[in-house]
Amino acid sequence: MMLTAVGRDPNNQIFPIAWAVVDCENNPNWEWFVKKIKADLELGLGENITLISDMHKGLIHGVATELPMAEHRACARHIYSTLKKSNKADMLKPLFWRVASSFNEADYKENLAIFKEFDPQSCQTLLRKDPSTWCRAFFRVGCCCADTHNNHTESYNRTLKIARRKPFVQMLELIRRDAMQRVATRSTIAAKETAKYTKKARKELEKSCDEAQYCAMITSKGGEFEIVEFGTGYFVNLSARTCACRKWDLTGIPCRHAVCAIREMNYEVEDYMSDYYLTEKWQGTYRRGLRPVNGPKFWKDSGRPRIAAPPYKRPAGRPKGKARIKGLNESPRKKKSDKKVGREGRVMHCGLCGEAGHNSRRCPHESSESRAKRIRLNGEPGQLEAQDQSEMEAAFAAMEAPGPEEPEAGHRAEEPEVQDVSSSAPQRSWVERMLFG
């Protein structure tokens, strides 16, 4: 089993942090992995750390033991997979994600009430999970991340598909080279950026600016404002950089309500973005890359035992193959395209006469000789059995009948007729071959 930890850079891209190979996922292995990351990155007790993962018990135990002060979020996609087992309705997915994507408690309660009205049993199952781990309305502010899923980890695991097919040492070397190339490539891209903030942050800000056209501002004192949107008021504090919708608080990018207040005061919107998205910090993330390593030919013998893979333990169930195992609802079945012609409504045409309404096996214009030849060569269900049965009865009748008189002495018996065994000539049935050789 491979344990991985990835982060996200200011441009919302994958940054590999650590990876390790263990014999299985259990409490000691996850605790050891988290402990190594904690020591290398000097995380302390995890006061300013946010983690997102699936709800594996070993991982939960490792984080709770080594990083007790960290915010440990649960992947909402895995929670939805659990709900999908009991309810297959298509409306369940959008209703669930509206609840998980609620930025504040007011929206959370409203969307939860709609979800409960649709399926009370699924709502009861959902509330067994602590909402503070999978709903944005209860996330800790300050991390500039509002993600409710760990798709970054799943995407990174997908890139390791080829490496996992290699032997142990070669696999680790391929992963290291992939990480080295990734850091070098991103460093080159970041060095060419001339704007103050990253491209991803600017796109999110442009989206907020477009949505701000439906907002109106009512001025107060001390940098406080009330933004009215479709009859609902939102309290905005530019000094504290907070908004009642909590989107600005979680992401660090001004929401549409904050953009409305900033524009009305003739301020620059970009000045109110979090420093996390600065291009300078993006470039600093990739300033130090992985150094090249000589191949095994140049490695010195340390005198210690050779590195080998852990003892293989065959997992229960059917082998899953080399590809990454996808979740139950991770990649739903694609719908048929409107341009693709299916079998439904298709008119059948005969391959012999070309007319519609029948196939070549039921063609009324086929001659009797052609039909008999086709049956003899290809056979049709039920007819070969009837033919073999009739031939068998005829063979047994011939065995019971009195045989011909023996030829006189000095006379030579007639030689059997030479049979044509070409592919076009009719072949003897298996009954004749069994009885007469």
pLDDT in tens, 42-94: 999 988 899 999 888 889 999 999 999 999 999 999 899 888 888 888 889 99
Report if residue 404 sits inside a domain: no
Report if residue 69 sits inside a domain: yes
Residue 204 tokens read as 């999110």
Sign of CA dihedral 241, 207, 193, 13: positive
Helix (H) or strand (E) holding 416: none
Same domain assignment for residues 213 and 129 = no
Higher pLDDT, 309 or 302: 302
pLDDT of residue 431: 47
pLDDT of residue 428: 54
Strand partners of residue 20: 3
Report if residue 279 sits inside a domain: no
Higher pLDDT, 324 or 220: 220
Same domain assignment for residues 41 and 105 = yes
Sign of CA dihedral 398, 401, 402, 404: negative
Same domain assignment for residues 119 and 60 = yes
The rounded mean pLDDT for the chain is 82
Q: Can you tell me whether residue 237 is helix, strand or coil? A: strand
Report if residue 95 sits inside a domain: yes
Same domain assignment for residues 213 and 186 = no
Same domain assignment for residues 174 and 49 = yes
Residue 175 tokens read as 């992963």
In this predicted model, what pLDDT tens digit does every residue of 167-209 receive, in sequence order?
A: 888 899 999 999 999 999 999 999 999 999 999 999 999 999 9
Domain total of the chain: 2
Same domain assignment for residues 221 and 264 = yes
Report if residue 260 sits inside a domain: yes
- Give the domain-ending residue among 161, 192, 223: 192
pLDDT of residue 349: 83
Cβ(208)–Cβ(259) below 8 Å: yes
Q: What is the distance between the alpha carbons of residues 371 and 388, in angstroms, rounded to a whole number?
A: 18
Higher pLDDT, 416 or 102: 102
Q: How many residues in total does the chain contain?
A: 437
Same domain assignment for residues 213 and 114 = no
Same domain assignment for residues 61 and 85 = yes
Cβ(68)–Cβ(36) below 8 Å: no
pLDDT at residue 408 is higher than 50: no
Residue 408 tokens read as 């006189």
Higher pLDDT, 327 or 334: 327
State the average pLDDT over residues 148-160. 88
In this predicted model, what pLDDT tens digit does every residue of 258-302 receive, in sequence order?
A: 999 999 999 999 999 999 999 999 999 998 888 899 988 898 888
- Give the domain-ending residue among 272, 292, 307: 272
- Give the domain-ending residue among 192, 210, 243: 192
Residue 340 tokens read as 């693709």
Same domain assignment for residues 179 and 212 = no
Same domain assignment for residues 210 and 187 = no
In this predicted model, what pLDDT tens digit does every residue of 243-268 receive, in sequence order?
A: 999 999 999 999 999 999 999 999 99
pLDDT at residue 122 is higher than 70: yes
Strand partners of residue 391: none
Task: Find how far residue 6's CA is from the centre of its chain.
Answer: 17
Report if residue 390 sits inside a domain: no
> What is the domain range of residue 16?
2-192
Same domain assignment for residues 86 and 153 = yes
Report if residue 393 sits inside a domain: no
Report if residue 343 sits inside a domain: no
Same domain assignment for residues 77 and 148 = yes
